[in-house]
Structure 1
Amino acid sequence: MKGFSTIALLILSNVFMTLAWYGHLKMAELKWFSKLGLFAVIAISWGIAFFEYCAQVPANKYGFVGNGGPFTLLQLKVIQEVITLVVFTLFMLVFFRQESFRWNHLLGFLCLVAAVYFIFKK
């Protein structure tokens, strides 16, 4: 159960992280948003990032083997990186359709999946 909860919280945190880091690029298409200065955009991103931390910190706390969770620190990080790339890719494909997803991107992702395999191998 802790493993599932950890992964669910990591997915949630990465949705917020992606919105905080890249959402402003899409929001710039809105007239009112495009008039905001950099400081306002940063403040909005920080506000969104707060929710990222509200999911990320518990995910790491509950998921870490030192706290009774199922994952080592290295495993947590690799899981988080793969989730980050999957969430970001979905975000890109949905909101930035002019961006392309090519064979080399897929190959890179497969290398990351291989990294997960090797990190979890006993």
Structure 2
Amino acid sequence: MKSLTTVALLLISNLFMTFAWYGHLQFKKISWLHGLGLVGVILISWGLAFFEYVFQVPANRIGFEENGGPFNLFQLKVIQEVVSLTVFTLCAVFVFKTDKLAWNHVVGFALLVAAVYVIFKKW
């Protein structure tokens, strides 16, 4: 259960992160945000990043083995990276609609899955 909670919180966290880091690049499509200056964009991104941390910090605390969770630090980081790239890809392709998923992206994700396997493998 803690592993599912950790991953769910990371998914939510990374949704906020993606919009904080890349959502402002779509502001030109929203008329009332079109003329927003850099300071305004930074403030909106900071506001979104706050919610990223509201979910990220509990995810890591719940998931960390020294707090009773199932994951060590390396495992938490690899999960974070895979979740981050998955959420980003889905947003880029289906929400922002700026990019298409290409073969090299799929190969890169397969290599990330291999990284997860290697990190979680007990040698």
Q: Same fold (TM over 0.5)?
A: yes
Gaps of 5+ in 2: none
TM-score by structure 1 length? 0.96
Structure 2 partner of 1:82: 82
Specify the alignment match of 2:14 in structure 1.
14
| TM-score under structure 2 length normalisation | 0.95
Give the distance between the partners of 1:98 and 1:10, measured in 2 at CA: 24
Match of 2:64 in 1: 64
Q: Would you say the 8 A contact 1:18–1:87 is kept in 2?
A: yes
What is the CA distance between 1:26 and its match in structure 2? 1.4
Taking the aligned partners of 1:56 and 1:32, their CA distance within structure 2 comes to 30
- Runs of 4+, deviation exceeding 6 Å: none
Per the alignment, residue 106 of structure 1 pairs with: 106
Percent identity, aligned pairs only, is 61
Amino acid at match of 1:11: L
CA RMSD of aligned residues (A): 0.9
Distance in 1, matches of 2:41 and 2:96, equals 19
User: Distance between the aligned counterparts of 1:15 and 1:97, measured in 2?
Assistant: 16
Match of 1:38 in 2: 38
Name stretches of at least 5 consecutive residues in structure 1 with no aligned partner.
Answer: none
